[in-house]
């Protein structure tokens, strides 16, 4: 992650409220975590099937 203040990002994107930016950021992070979990599961299953 970077260290840019969320308020600066919010202003740059033209969001009227910082909570809009925070909500979008949370959704993106949640999606990224879910994708990583699915990749790990895939590779663990693949490894298990190759034993």
Encode pLDDT of 21-40 as tens digits. Answer: 999 999 999 999 999 999 99
Does residue 23 lie in a domain region?
yes
Over range 17-24, report the average pLDDT: 95
Q: How many domains does the chain have?
A: 1
Q: Who's near 6: CB < 8 A, 6+ residues apart? A: 18, 21, 22, 25
In percent, the amount of the chain with pLDDT more than 90 equals 73
CA distance 24 to 12: 14
Does residue 32 lie in a domain region?
yes
pLDDT given for residue 13 in this prediction: 95
pLDDT given for residue 15 in this prediction: 96
Find the domain containing 23 and state its range.
6-49
pLDDT given for residue 1 in this prediction: 55
Say yes or no to pLDDT of 45 above 80.
yes
């Amino acid at each position: 992650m970077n260290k840019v203040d969320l308020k600066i990002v919010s202003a740059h994107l033209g969001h009227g409220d910082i909570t809009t930016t925070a909500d979008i950021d949370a959704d993106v992070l949640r999606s990224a975590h879910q994708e990583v979990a699915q990749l790990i599961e895939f590779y663990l299953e693949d490894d298990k099937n190759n034993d």
